[in-house]
Amino acid sequence: MNPAEIQLSTLCRGGTSRPPQLRPCAGKIAVIAEIIDHNRAIIDGPTTSVPRQAFPYRHLSLTPLRLTKLPRGAGSGAIRRHIEKEGTVTRWENSAWAKKRASIQKRRSLNDFARFEVMLAKKARRDVVRKVVAKAAKA
């Protein structure tokens, strides 16, 4: 890939928001506070209860959200102030990625009867759509 083709929003930089993929921090938003080396970074999520820790890049997912003007090696207090000032958690919750994760999580938490009700609702919707399409095809 040509270096000119790399999008700036997907580069790993300090202040980039990333949801860790490992338990117990999975799905919570965290910020890269400091880059240690080419394999690890220090992440911190003071507003989402992600402890400050060294974390390997392979277990992080990069988001386009970034804290602007975050000083290098910022502590938890500075990161908390920047997150609250810029509304990073709100921006994350309004993103399509977070909404999709929430819908998947909600789906996983359904019991057998709730899954049955979802199936019936999808079936009813499918019947309505089929009738409308058939009516439009006749006309």
Model-level pTM?
A: 0.70
pLDDT digits (tens, 9 = 90+) for 75-109: 999 999 999 999 988 998 999 999 998 999 999 99
Residue 23 tokens read as: 């338990």
**Distance of alpha carbon 3 from alpha carbon 1, whole angstroms:** 6
How does DSSP classify residue 51?
Answer: E
Average pLDDT over residues 104-131: 97
Which element (helix H / strand E) includes 71? none
Would the pLDDT of 129 be above 80?
yes
**Distance of alpha carbon 38 from alpha carbon 117, whole angstroms:** 48
Tell me the average pLDDT of the chain.
86
